[in-house]
Amino acid sequence: MNFEFSEEQRFIRDQARNFLSQECSTPVVREVLDGSGSFHRPLWDKIIELGWTAMAIPEEHGGLGLGYLELCVIAEELGRALAPIPFSSSVYLATEALKHWGSQQQKAQYLPRLAAGELIGCFAHAEGLGKPCVDAAAGKAGIAGSKLPVADGDIADFAILSARNADDVVQLYIVDLAQSGVRREALSSLDPSRSQARIDLQNAAAEPLGDADPAGAEAIDSLLDCAAVLLAFEQIGGCQAAMDSGIAYTKERYAFGRPVASFQAIKHKFADMFVALELARSNAYYGAWALSSDAPDLPLAAATARVSATDAYYLISKENIQAHGGMGFTWEFDCHLYYRRAQLLSSQIGAMPLWKERLVTHLLHAA
């Protein structure tokens, strides 16, 4: 038994960590947070150059042909660095959708350009409050409806978008977002370091994802499972960074003549954060194994990884503010960046009620 990333994978992780600590320090994140653009174009360009967008795309389509485990270690580092780029939308969702359910022609058309960073994709599924309910309708005249929120919807070139077909069955479509039938509007969100948009479609041209057997509800489910594992790695990366910053700060800050970190009230807080993070990390590892080996219990493992990571990031990001005291509540300190990102990642691809329900459904159906 070997439940650890390989030496090569850990090397990729270390390289990514070094790169991001140079190129994606929190001032870089703040450039986007403070309002200059929807994402950090220079950082995105460097990441494309490093081949991260091509990582899990097969070589025949211009990718590097690596697996999910390599993508997981990259995800952890992007989460740690709070990278303000559309990586999850384009790589975990749009690219994966095309890779698994695209027709040969669609794969040939999109994957090489996604790998090369010439295109940014996004996933448009939610339609307002609550669980995703797909009312957008696809008819002969194109797709009509609204998608909200769509992560990176204002910057993506195309969307993998869910809509009801003529038989009222939910199905995935590829929609070019630059066309006249599409109106896009950037939205304010809890985490302005990442973009959110509303997309309105009026007779927007679209092609079904796949050909003979178009991708429907099952495809959406497995796409979400895959994204849940990868996002869990972003979450645990953020957890680790937030907890590390709190530990460093409370060791340095003195009150009553001693380090704040020497008080049990603070130590026990960090012990609880550590526990939550270790459980989340272990569940994410299991999810990574299930994803990379296409295990039958992937749906349960993915939901577990997501619930665990979401719980951990909320706990750690809020208690990290608390441990920092008043300075933790300032704009100047970075605590709120993690708190905001925790909120964003917990709602992206569906919030806790949805994922807990998915977990329980699979748990009760398991042997």
Partner 1 sequence: MDFKDTPELAAFRQDVRAWLDANAERRTDNLNMGMEGEQAFLEGKAWYRKKAEAGFACLTWPKEYGGAGLTSLHDVVWTQEVVNYRTRDAQFVIGIGNCGPAIMHFANEEAKRELLPRMASAQDVWCQLFSEPSAGSDVAGLRTSAQREGDHWKINGQKIWTSGAQYSDYGVVLTRTDPGVSKYKGLTMFMIDMRQPGVEVRPIKQMDGGQHFNEVFFHDAVVPDAYRLGDVGGGWTGALTVLMSERLAISGIQPTGFPQFLDVVKSLELNGEPMASDPIVRDRLATWYSQYAGLQAANKRMITAVAQGGIAGAEASLGKLVGAVMNQEIANFVCQLFGQAGVIQDATLSPARAHFQESVLFAPGVRLAGGTDEVMRNILAEQVLGLPQEPRADKGMAFKDIPTGSAGAG
Residue 135 or 252: the one with the smaller Cβ distance to partner 1 is 252
Site for partner 1 in 37-96 (CB under 8 A): 69
CB 187 within 8 A of CB 148: yes
Q: Is 265 in the site for partner 1 (CB under 8 A)?
A: no
CB 153 within 8 A of CB 180: no
Nearest residue to 55 via CA among 47, 67, 73, 42: 67
CA distance 90 to 45: 14
Q: CB of residue 240 vs partner 1: minimum separation in angstroms?
A: 12
Q: CB of residue 327 vs partner 1: minimum separation in angstroms?
A: 19
Q: What are phi and psi of 253, to 5 degrees?
A: -85, 135
Q: Tell me the per-residue interface mask from 340 to 359 with partner 1, x by CB under 8 A, - otherwise.
A: ---------------xxx-x
Tell me the angle at which helices 298-324 and 264-292 cross, rounded to the nearest 10 degrees. Answer: 160
What is the DSSP track for 306-360? HHHHHHHHHHHHHHHHHHHGGGGGSSSSTHHHHHHHHHHHHHTTS-HHHHHHHHH
Residue 254 or 329: the one with the smaller Cβ distance to partner 1 is 254
Residue 92 or 286: the one with the smaller Cβ distance to partner 1 is 286
CA distance 117 to 51: 9
219, two tokens = 């495809």
Site for partner 1 in 292-311 (CB under 8 A): 292-293, 303-304, 307-308, 311
Give the range of 23-31, 221-229, 245-253, 326-334 binding partner 1 by CB under 8 A.
245-253
Which of residues 58, 214, 259, 325 is near partner 1 by CB under 8 A? 259
Q: Is 364 in the site for partner 1 (CB under 8 A)?
A: yes
Q: CB of residue 133 vs partner 1: minimum separation in angstroms?
A: 19
Residue numbers at the binding site for partner 1 (CB under 8 A): 1-6, 69, 247, 250-251, 258-259, 261-264, 266-268, 270-272, 274-275, 278-280, 282-283, 285-286, 288-289, 292-293, 303-304, 307-308, 311, 355-357, 359-360, 363-364
